[in-house]
Amino acid sequence: MSDENLQPVFQIQRVYLKDMSLEQPNSPSIFLEQEAPAIEVSLDVGAESIAEGIYESTVTITVTAKVKDKVAFLVEGKQAGIFEARNIPADQMDPLLGIGCPNIIYPYLRANIADVISRAGFPPVHLAEINFEAFYQQRAQAMAEAAAAAPAN
């Protein structure tokens, strides 16, 4: 049987919390502050092949909350998923791993981060939806610009 007759396969094998950390460097005094903290969020995604047709996709979010110049808390979470992807056209694999898989695992990470922040004694931070397609395009453009700016050897 030729590869052309094989149906594409895409399945979630497992979704799991790969890493979670919480720092509260100014507790308990930070709880006495009346001012609402300023929230800063950073995002990263990654993907790697772990076996033939099996890939791990990750989404990492870092949430930093500051009151004035003091860090109230810093939470970093990495949610991961193992996905089976076979007979997918080569030009569709990178967008699948960079857009499709993060869209599946991000809701789990949002919930885990809100839970950790609540358990730390702070009001939960509900992260906004993320347009992973726009994020993917921005990263691709930044990588292309960096490659164009690099001196040719």
Task: pLDDT band for 5, please (50, 70, 90 cuts).
Answer: low
- 1 pLDDT more than 50: no
Q: 99-112: per-residue pLDDT in tens?
A: 999 999 999 999 99
What is the pLDDT averaged over residues 113-123? 94
The one-letter amino acid at 65: A
- 6 pLDDT more than 90: no
Q: 36-71: per-residue pLDDT in tens?
A: 899 999 999 999 999 999 999 999 999 999 999 999
* Sequence-ordered list of residues with C-beta below 8 angstroms from that of 60, at least 6 positions apart, any chain: 19, 43, 44, 45, 46, 76, 77, 78
Fold of the 3-148 domain? Bacterial Protein-export protein SecB (3.10.420)
For 33, the token pair is 């502050």
Q: For the chain, what are the domain ranges?
A: 3-148
> Structure pTM?
0.88
Q: 7-45: per-residue pLDDT in tens?
A: 999 999 999 999 999 999 999 999 999 898 999 999 999
